[in-house]
Amino acid sequence: MTSSIAFKTFTGLRHSSAEPSTLQNKVPSVSSPNHCRRRLQITAGKFSPKVQNRNLRVAVIGGGPAGGAAAETLAKGGIETYLIERKLDNCKPCGGAIPLCMVGEFDLPLDIIDRKVTKMKMISPSNIAVDIGRTLKPHEYIGMVRREVLDSYLRERAATNGANVINGLFLKMDIPKGGRGSETAPYVLHYTEYNGKVGGAGQKKTLEVDAVIGADGANSRVAKSIGAGDYDYAIAFQERIKIPDDKMVYYENLAEMYVGDDVSPDFYGWVFPKCDHVAVGTGTVTHKGDIKKFQLATRNRAKDKILGGKIIRVEAHPIPEHPRPRRLLDRVALVGDAAGYVTKCSGEGIYFAAKSGRMCAEAIVEGSENGKRMVDESDLRKYLEKWDKTYWPTYKVLDVLQKVFYRSNPAREAFVEMCADEYVQKMTFDSYLYKRVVPGNPLDDLKLAFNTIGSLVRANALRKEMNKLSV
């Protein structure tokens, strides 16, 4: 199985001395959510001016889980909603795992879920496999979806609730100038619409709105428009492989995760089951130029189980590694990958994208009193406050775990060894499936701490022995 793909250069959002001083002075760069909260001054939404002879207009740029969830919530809340998405058949290179709580929270129909994974194998650099999932209850599972199916469903549901879905490419936006009246002046969006009537070149159009939600991914043009700052990003590479039916039986309710320097120096490789194929992929931040080599290694690690398979699709995409320095400016807010909401260690992003889109939209609906009043930055900042309070600890914990356990092959061996512990599995799955931290048993927590230290000590000793052999 061979494949090739040409990568487009990822355009980072660099700070520039040419950036207008009004942007730099208006909102200071922030390095943590606490910094935002210390400078916060809330203005009650009821004192905002009423919108005359119409409802509040909001544009959502990007039609993934974040954009679809935001557009639906806005439309339901009485907002005149526009969702602009260029690729309505977009297939993002994404493992496609969603937690059980997302199925309920977002009322997802079961027929868009390809597989219900109840078993996982964590496979160490030395190919020691640990079975994970023994603590799952009969009704619990990890959902596997195809992004083109999930994203389309969320957009269609938004449209059913009144959102205007536009097949278009967002180009730029004109931000209201400061001064009297700027707090109610519109944002002017420039985009190219592709409606099948004007040929492949599309038609240039503009749209005036009162607020903007940027849900346009890691290389967000909305983020660039508000000087949101730069961040590290990973390259995710994935191949969809159609394997023989007898081999597909093995993956009926099973997913695999491979760790090791061969598949990624700072992440993991995966084999996730879909409707009639498996998704095989990997990612890296530190060695992007070697991504094809890591992908080949992932395929080789799983070769006996995917033997005879045919690659039917190749996908690659940038994935953010941490939240942007700025996620909000005036009446423009970022959500999902555009805001940098992908977790370290696990690389999870679908749930957090949809959740952030919904949270942001809810803040706009509440602040505008269901579209009757203008919103301002204080209304949108309530979304950031709620988000940071709820999920910031999760991001920090997973960041630490990645730094501790992904730093070397011996550390990865220790990580896989820990995953064999049923208490670790229970705490991990409870946190993942329901997005809440379940209080642990103090004695089991103490035992886990000692086991963790023991695993890391053994890993360190193994690394020293390996270094001796390599000298």
- pLDDT exceeds cutoff 70 at 204: yes
Whether residues 219 and 298 share a domain: the answer is no
Average pLDDT value for the chain: 84
- Is residue 456 over pLDDT 60? no
**What single-letter amino acid sits at 341?**
Y
**Whether residue 179 sits in one domain with residue 77:** yes
pLDDT at 31: 40
CA angle in degrees (0–180, nearest 5) for 345-354-49:
130
Residue 387's pLDDT band (cuts 50, 70, 90):
very high
pLDDT, residue 344, reads 79
- What's the count of helices (H) and strands (E) in the chain, helices before strands? 15, 18
pTM of the model: 0.84
Q: Among the three residues 320, 348, 372, which one is the final residue of a domain in this structure?
A: 320
Residues 379 and 428 both lie in one domain: no
Buried b (16+ CB within 10 A) or exposed e, 135-174: ebeeebbbbbbbbebbbbbbbebbbeebbebbbbbbeebe
Looking at residues 304-327, what average pLDDT do you find?
Answer: 93
Coil, strand or helix: which one is 216? coil
The DSSP annotation for 410-430 comes to HHHHHHHHHHT-HHHHHHHHH
In a domain, 107, yes or no: no
* 316 in a structural domain: yes
Q: Are residues 202 and 250 in the same domain?
A: no
Q: Which of 64-68, 162-166, 271-275, 465-469 has the lowest mean pLDDT?
A: 465-469
End-to-end CA distance of the chain: 36
Q: Is residue 169 part of a domain?
A: yes
Q: Which domain-ending residue is among 320, 337, 352?
A: 320
Report residue 471's pLDDT band, with 50, 70 and 90 as the boundaries.
very low
Domain co-membership, 294 together with 239: yes
| Same-domain check for residues 168 and 81 | yes
- Model pLDDT, residue 437: 57
CA atoms within 13 A on the CB side of 453: 5
The backbone region for 340, taken as left when phi is positive above 0, alpha when psi lies in -120 to 50, beta otherwise, is left
pLDDT bracket for residue 180 (50, 70, 90)? low
Q: Please answer whether residues 337 and 213 qualify as being in contact, where contact means their C-beta atoms are separated by less than 8 angstroms.
A: no
For residue 391, being part of any structural domain is answered with: yes
Residue 158 CA to residue 77 CA, distance in Å, equals 11
| Residue showing tokens 């992004």 | 147
Q: What is the pLDDT of residues 388-446, one digit of tens each?
A: 999 988 888 778 878 888 889 988 998 898 888 888 888 888 888 888 755 555 544 44
Per the CB < 8 A criterion, the answer to whether 167 and 77 are in contact is: no
Identify whether residues 223 and 341 lie together within a single domain.
yes
Bridge pairing between strands 328-329 and 332-334: antiparallel
* CATH (domain of 158): 3.50.50.60
Please state the rounded mean pLDDT for residues 298-307: 97
Q: What is the CATH number of the domain that holds 278?
A: 3.30.9.10
On the CB side of 317, CA atoms within 13 Å amount to 19
Backbone angles phi, psi at 335, to 5 degrees: -140, 165
The residue ranking higher by pLDDT, 458 or 351, is 351
Query: CA-to-CA distance for 181 and 370, rounded, in angstroms?
Result: 22
DSSP string for residues in 254-316: EEEEEEETTTEEEEEEEEEE-SSSEEEEEEESS-GGGHHHHHHHHHHHTHHHHTT-EEEEEEE
Task: Say which residue the tokens 């889980």 belong to.
Answer: 65
Number of domains, the chain: 3
More confident call, 208 vs 87: 208
Indicate if 314 and 269 belong to the same structural domain.
Answer: yes
The answer to whether 255 and 271 are in contact (CB under 8 A) is: yes
The rounded distance, in Å, linking the Cα atoms of 244 and 420 is: 30
Residue % of the chain over a pLDDT of 70: 80
What's the mean pLDDT in 375-385?
A: 97
Asked if 194 and 71 sit in the same domain, the reply is yes
CA gap 26, 43 in Å, rounded: 17
SS3 114: coil
- List % helix, strand, coil for the chain (3-state, nearest 5): 40, 25, 40
Domain boundary among 286, 320, 354: 320
Listed in sequence order, the residues at least 6 apart from 172 whose beta carbon sits closer than 8 Å to its beta carbon are 189, 190, 221, 225
Question: Is residue 18 included in any domain, yes or no?
Answer: no
Is 402 within 8 Å of 113 (Cβ atoms)?
no
- Asked if 265 and 387 sit in the same domain, the reply is no
Only one residue has tokens 């180009």, namely 171
Q: What is the pLDDT of residues 242-266, one digit of tens each?
A: 999 999 999 999 999 999 999 999 9
Q: Please report whether residue 198 resides in a domain.
A: yes
**Can you give the pLDDT at residue 196?**
65
pLDDT at 276 over 90: yes
Q: Which domain holds residue 259?
A: 232-320
State residue 304 phi and psi, 5-degree precision.
-65, -30
- pLDDT score for 254: 97
Structural domain contains residue 48: no
pLDDT value for 358:
98
Q: Are residues 163 and 214 in the same domain?
A: yes
- Predicted local distance difference test score (pLDDT) of residue 28: 41
Name which of 323, 384, 227, 321 is nearest 31 in CA terms.
323
Q: Is the domain of 182 the same as that of 247?
A: no
pLDDT over 90, % of the chain: 63
Residue 100 lies in a domain: no
Eight-class DSSP state of 45: G
